[in-house]
Structure formats: structure tokens, C-alpha cells
Chains A and B, each alone.
Chain A
Amino acid sequence: MAEVRLELIEKIEGEAQVRYFYEEERVDFAEILFVTGRGIEKILEGRDPWDALTINPRVCGICGHAHLIATVRALEDCYTDLKLSPKARKVRELTLAFELLQNHFKWFYLTILPLLDLEAPRRSVLEPSRILGEMIALLAGQYPHNSYAIPGGITCEITPVDLHGVRQRHRHLQKLFRRGVIDVDLEAFVRCDRIEAMLKREGDLPRAMQRILDRGWERLGRSCDRFIVFGHNDLFVAGKSIGTRLQKHLDLRYLRESSIEGSRARRVLYREKSYETGPLARAMLLKTPLTKEAHRRYGDSLFSRILARVCEIPRLLRYTEALIASIDLSESAWIDPGPLPEEAEGTGIVEAARGSLIHRLQIKEGKIARYRIVTPTQWNLGNGSREEPGVAQSALIGLHREDPAELVFKAFDVCSVCTTK
């Protein structure tokens, strides 16, 4: 019997609606709809370009810092000879990485564990979230919604006292990760390639992954097996991968956005194909051992997706520890880049918690003439047709009525507010 059911998915930084089309007890097709929109891109038009530094963090309450960094990169891209000190670049990398860490903790504990009927003390999420907020604030003034990254560097001078505060909290955070998420040596865990070895450890990650296996859900949520990463730094590499076949070169000219009927979200394609972005995509590009093994066994399923995301935490912890140690405080925090050109175009790309975030702006007569934001959730949740379904749609299609559709959906970590920018 064919049946159509509309469901509200909530607590995804806002809401989305999914219209399921069932046929013979299975999802035959699913439409993902975002029904509200805020109009940030329009609000920016006609404004002084620097205003974007204030307005854009407010695109999102959970990943707003990624929007700030994307904004400053887009503005800096408008200059031809802008100088940025290694210190400023590193401090920005740090605060951005802290936001990724915080988002990963929040998603794992607030979204994923409850859907697996697992409980953890509330402090498992509150403590790391609060500490990471403090770490960003020590360098950037506040969290959420600061505007400390500006063309040419950062607004603040960083003192050894600030950095000391960050370092102490970093140690605390490592302890919390080992005590709560998984009891391992970070260095060894990053190299680990055996699922069984991970499952044998103590912690909420092995508990969660074991629960998925026990329920026989490890192969659910498989999608198009195409991955894309636009951001590039010392931690992530840009490129696309189809299964495990990599291609490093990407060209933004092949990116195409289209509107979706009945939804306020725009779909985004690369060379007319949908791609998954986010931690699983980043892990596939980097071929990180444990995620590669999960993918070999279970494909691009919710098991691989959840594992990939949590496994970014130890990598981010090591990355940020090395960054902190390498900062030379004698360098300039800000190098005056002079006024922005009156006519220019710029692009800013960031790897945000949920995947690649792209800001593009055009300046005319000294004002913002056009501003476009492509968010990770547009890649993952963008609606396609029955013939060419989007990433999350593909993951939902074929699910049995008894299958955990909400978990499949939320394993992507949807950011509704970003999508309804």
C-alpha cells in the first residue's frame, strides 16, 4: 500500500519536515523541506563589507564562528596583496577548531546517544562545551557570536596569560575525552584501524557503536558514496572521492545551486552530482584508518558517519595542541591591509563542523552588491528528484518502516538554521 506521511524533525538547530512516501512498508521516496527562511544574504546587500563580520556569525548559533572565518577569508580574498601573520592565521585556526570540537561533542551527546537509547550524565556534554567556549573567548572575546577575525588578522593582542589559560583547558579537555568518549591514548587511537580494538575500550563511543551493531543498523543510511571537501589546511585535504577513488583538484565553477520547490533551502551540486560533505567526507579524503575500515565493511552508512565524526575529536585535539605550541607571540596580531577595494570579488572557504562552508561576495562602489553562502547542510540535505535524489534522501530511501529513520537523518547532523539562512 502506498502511503505518504509528513514528519517534523526537531532539535536540529531548528526544524525540518520530511515527507515519506512508503511502498510495501519501505521508504520509496522522501522529500526534505525547510519551511522558514531569514534572508541574511539580502540583509547584507548594500552594507559596508565589514558589517558582514558582525552579521554573519549570527547565521548560526552553533557554528557561527565558521561563518565568521569564512567571511573574513572572503573579504581578504578581495585584496591582491594582503599580509597575514602566522600568529593571526594560527589563532584563527585554533578558535575554528575549538568550535568543531564543541559541535562534535554536542552532536554526539545531545543528538546521537538519545536516539540509541543510551544515557550519559549531562555534564558529559556541558563540561566540554563550556570549556571550549571559554577557550574561544580567551582568544576572541566571547562565544558564541564574536567578530574578532578581521582583514589582516585579529582584533586582539594575545598574551602568554591568555595562551596559558587555553593550554590548561586543553589538558582538561583531553582528560574529559578519555574519561567520557573513549579511554585511549590519543596518538595510538589516531593510528588505530581495528573496529574491534575500538569496541573493547571503555567509553560512550564504543557503547554507541556496539549498540548500532547489536541492533543490526550498521549498514543503514548508505547513500551515494560520493564525498567532497573544499577546505584545506594542515588537518584536512580538499578534493572529492567516489568511493575510495580520489581526485584532489576542485573548481568552484562547477558548483551549481538550484532552488527547491516548497522548501527554503537551495540544493547544491558539483558537476551536476550531489556529494556528501562533513567528517565522513574528510576522513575518506584523508583515508584515516578506522573510518576507512568502517567504510570497507559497512559502506557510507550511519555507522561510518558517526564513527568518522567522533574520530575527528582526537585528531582535532592533537592538531590544536601542536598549533598552540607553535604560536610565536612576538608576531603581529594585525597587519593593516588598507581599505578594501571599491570593486572586488572574494571567496572564503572553511571546513565547518558539518562540512564545507563557502562564502562568496561581490563588492561594488564600496558596498556589498551580492553575498552568497553555501552551507554543508545544503550538500547533505538538499532535495533532489526521484531520478537524482540528494545525499540524505538516498540514505532514507529503502528504509523499512521499523528502521530508525530519524537516526539515519540526524547522523548527517542537520543544521536547519544555516540552511534557512
Chain B
Amino acid sequence: MRLLWLSALACNGNAHALLNYPHFEEWQEDFEWLYHPLLPSTHAFVEVEEGIEGVEILIVDGTLEEGLVKNRLVYNELLARYAAEAKCIVTVGTCATFGGIFAQGGEGRSGLHFSKERRHGRFDDFWEKTVSLPGCPVQPEVLAGTLSMLRLGEPLPLDALHRPKYFYAYTVHDGCTRNEYFEYKIDEHRFGALEGCMFYEHGCQGTFTHGSCNKILWNGVHSKTRAGTPCMGCTEPDFPRETLWRTSKHMGIPARMPLGVPRRAYLSLAGIAKAFRIERFERPMMEDERG
């Protein structure tokens, strides 16, 4: 299957992350890169501007900007030309999907279909054939897996923002090693420790962020939240929010609730959990259990 990777305002993180895919070499045998920003490709970028044939999947990377010229042509026009031809379009990363960080750096910047969560409509003709893969960067397994499923014509159920449910129906919270501290409402967390949950004080967005970070581990070994770094919500339309490392609160309770959980339900459960003092959560994990 022939892939054309076009980057607008990007950091190349998605392209580099993909190289970490453990089976990259074998996976790549099923694809031909008409253009890729790092890897040897069939065409030079200048040829892509002049016009190439046979694009099957268009991969859109980076924040779009009105009037952006990468070499000779207006990038958005180039994009529209290949988008019309492609069977399918995949937006890789939060920049290409929702605008991301760089959308905050200038006027006229957005994702392919979205400015944050709002559909801007400029490329609406292509909406039906677009798959959204947000993430900063997108996990290599998510991108490689999606492309393979598209190649094989396997069903790929999408949510309202066109994210494949297989990867984005989970929250980043799912599979976090700190989950018990969340369940039992142990709100103390100190950086540099194995224990504790960053939801209460340190801005962790894992419970309301769509993604498989703690299911498909990063680099196959770890995740930010397991490593004590709060989830920054990098797959979400409003990434990056302000004051990322501090939890904003209403009346002493985190302002944002876990995905789909009504505030009342949360408060009731928290009240019950907090009524108990569970000794195991109050001592270091590596200390001996007490009789």
C-alpha cells in the first residue's frame, strides 16, 4: 500500500516515534513510502510538489497554517490535491488532528478538521475518509496498527472525533500502576516516589484522557504516569491546557472528573473511600507488610 506523509508545522516526533515500532522492518514490507520525512522514499519532496501518482493513504502531520509555503507551493493546496485522490487520510498526532501546541503560536493555525474540539469545515469534503490519531506523539503501535488494519480492510470502528475505538476507547488511567491510590482516594502524592496518584494535586489528566499509554506501554516498557509524571492530556483537543502541573479545583475537589463520571457519583464514592484508613497505602510499597 502506497503512503504519502506530508508534514506542515511539525516537530517530527510522530515520524521518529514510529521508528521505535518493534516490528518496523517487517511491518514496512507491506507499504511503500511515496514520501516520508526521514526514511528513503520513492519521490523527493520537489516531485511531490510537481505531482505524483498513486497515493492510497495520505498521512497528515503537523499543525496546518493558512498560506504556509514549505518550498514552492501553498501547503494547504498541496494537501487538498492529494487528499482528494487518497482512499483514506490519517491525521497523525495532536497537531494535525486538533491543532496542538503550535496552533497557539500564530494566526490561522489548526488541525485538518478541528480547531481544538470545533470542526472548522475547511476540509469537510474529506471528513468521511479521515481517521484521527491524536497524541503528542502518537504511539507507534497505534499508527502502525491503524495503517495495517486499513490496508487489510479490517473494520476500524471510530468515535465521534474519528479516533479508532480500539485505541482511544481507553483512558490513560487504564493500566496505571498508581490506580489503587486513585480508587481509595489517597490524595497525597510526592514526586520521586513509586506511591501516590497525581490526579489530586499534580494535574494528572489520565482519568479523562483518551489513549492507550498504559495499555500499550511506551517503548514497550513504561509510561509517563507509571514514572510519576502526570498525564498532560496530549491526545485531547484542548492540549496543551494551562498550568499543566497543578490540579485546578472547585471547593477543594478536582475540577475535572474522570471520563463520564458525574460529580455527585464521584463525591459519594470519595466520601466512602475516605472514611477508611487503609494501612497499606500509608506505608512505602517496599516496606514489609505489617501483621
User: Residues of A at under 8 Å CB distance from B?
Assistant: 8, 10-11, 13-15, 17, 35-40, 42-43, 47-48, 50-51, 53-55, 58-62, 64, 88, 106, 110, 114, 122-123, 126, 129-130, 133-134, 136-148, 150, 152-157, 159, 165, 332-336, 417
Give the chain A neighbours of B20 by CB distance below 8 A: 129-130, 133, 143
Known: A38-B63, A138-B221, A336-B191. 16 other contacts (CB 8 A): A8-B44, A8-B46, A14-B7, A14-B12, A39-B102, A130-B24, A130-B219, A134-B219, A138-B222, A140-B222, A141-B222, A145-B137, A156-B227, A156-B229, A157-B194, A332-B192
Question: What band does the interface of chain B fall in when counting residues whose beta carbon is under 8 Å from A?
Answer: 35 or more
Question: In the complex the two chains form, what is the Cα distance from A48 to B68 in whole Å?
Answer: 30
Whose C-beta in chain B lies nearest to the C-beta of A165?
B221
- Mask, B204-219, CB within 8 Å of A = 1, is 0000000001000011
User: Which of A8, A64, A114, A140 sits near B11, CB closer than 8 Å?
Assistant: A64
Q: Pick the most buried of B24, B105, B240: most chain A CB atoms within 10 A of its CB.
A: B105
B240-254 toward A: CB 8 Å interface, digit per residue (1/0)? 101111100000000
Decide if A42 touches B105 in the complex (CB within 8 Å): yes
Counting chain A CB atoms within 10 Å of each CB, the highest count among B46, B224, B234 belongs to B224
- CB-based contact A64/B222 at 8 Å: no
On whether the beta carbons of A61 and B137 are closer than 8 Å, the reply is yes
Contact B192 A156 (CB under 8 A): yes
Question: Are B25 and A122 touching (Cβ within 8 A)?
Answer: yes
B45 engages A147 (CB within 8 Å): no
Offer 11 A-B interface pairs, CB within 8 angstroms, sorted by A.
A39-B104, A51-B240, A62-B16, A138-B222, A143-B218, A145-B13, A146-B224, A150-B191, A155-B227, A157-B193, A159-B194
Binds A, one of B34-42, B141-149, B161-169, B270-278: B34-42
- CB–CB B229/A50 < 8 A: no
Of chain B, the residue at the smallest CB distance from A150 is B191
Is B22 on the interface with A (CB-CB < 8 A)?
yes
CB pair B68 A36 closer than 8 Å: yes
Chain A residue with the shortest CB-CB distance to B239: A54
Q: Which residues of A contact B101 (CB under 8 A)?
A: 40, 43, 55, 58
- Bound-state CA distance A143–B16 (Å) is 9
B residues near A61, Cβ cutoff 8 Å: 10-17, 137
Distance of B15 from chain A, by nearest CB (Å): 7
Is B228 a contact of A156 with CB atoms below 8 Å?
yes
Knowing A129-B19, A153-B191, A157-B192 touch, does A141 contact B70 (C-beta < 8 A)?
no
| Chain B residues within an 8 Å CB radius of A165 | 221
Tell me if B223 counts as interface (CB < 8 A to partner A): yes
Contact indicator B12/A141 (Cβ below 8 Å): no
Would you call B173 an interface residue if the criterion is a C-beta within 8 Å of the partner chain's C-beta atoms?
Answer: no
**Chain B residues packing against A (C-beta within 8 Å):** 7, 9-17, 19-20, 22, 24-25, 28, 37-40, 44-46, 63, 65, 68-71, 101-102, 104-106, 136-137, 190-194, 213, 218-229, 232, 234, 240, 242-246
| Inter-chain residue pair count (beta carbon < 8 A) | 199
A159–B16 alpha-carbon span in the complex (Å) = 28
Residue of B nearest to A15 (CB): B70
Q: A55 and B240 in contact (CB under 8 A), knowing A38-B102, A137-B219, A154-B192?
A: yes
Choice from A137, A154, A333, A335 contacting B218 with Cβ under 8 Å: A137
> Are B136 and A58 closer than 8 Å at their CB atoms?
yes
Q: Is the CB of B11 within 8 A of A417?
A: yes
A322 CB to nearest B CB, Å: 23
* Shortest Cβ gap from A18 to chain B (Å): 12
Q: Does B221 lie within 8 Å of A62, measured CB to CB? A: no
| Contact yes or no, A126 B45, CB < 8 A | no
Partner of B224, one of A43, A62, A114, A141: A141
Tell me the smallest distance from the CB of B215 to a CB of chain A, in Å. 14
- List the A residue with the shortest CB-CB distance to B285: A157
Q: How distant is the Cα of A48 from the Cα of B241 in the complex, in angstroms?
A: 11
**Are A334 and B245 in contact, CB atoms less than 8 angstroms apart?**
no
The answer to whether B228 touches A157, judged by C-beta atoms less than 8 angstroms apart, is: yes
Given contacts A10-B44, A39-B102, contact A142 B191 (CB under 8 A): no
In the complex, which of the residues B105, B191, B221, B232 contacts A137, with contact meaning CB atoms closer than 8 Å? B221
Are A155 and B228 in contact (CB-based, < 8 A)?
Answer: yes
From the candidates A62, A129, A140, A147, name the one contacting B232 in the complex (CB within 8 A): A147
Q: Please state if A141 and B223 are interface contacts (CB–CB under 8 Å).
A: yes
Complex Cα gap A36–B102 (Å):
12
Chain B residues with CB under 8 Å of A40's CB are 101-102, 105
- Smallest CB separation, A315 vs chain B (Å): 24
Instruction: Specify which of B37, B220, B227 is in contact with A11 (CB 8 Å cutoff).
Output: B37
In whole Å, how far is A85's beta carbon from the nearest beta carbon of chain B? 9
10 smallest CB-CB distances across A and B, nearest first, come from: A39-B105, A334-B192, A141-B227, A61-B13, A142-B218, A333-B192, A61-B12, A137-B219, A155-B228, A156-B227
In the complex the two chains form, is B242's CB within 8 Å of A47's CB? yes
Contact present for B221 and A144 (CB under 8 Å)? no
Cβ–Cβ contact A134 & B221, under 8 A: yes
Interface centre among B46, B69, B191, B245 (most CB of A within 10 A): B191
- Smallest CB gap from B101: residue in A: A58
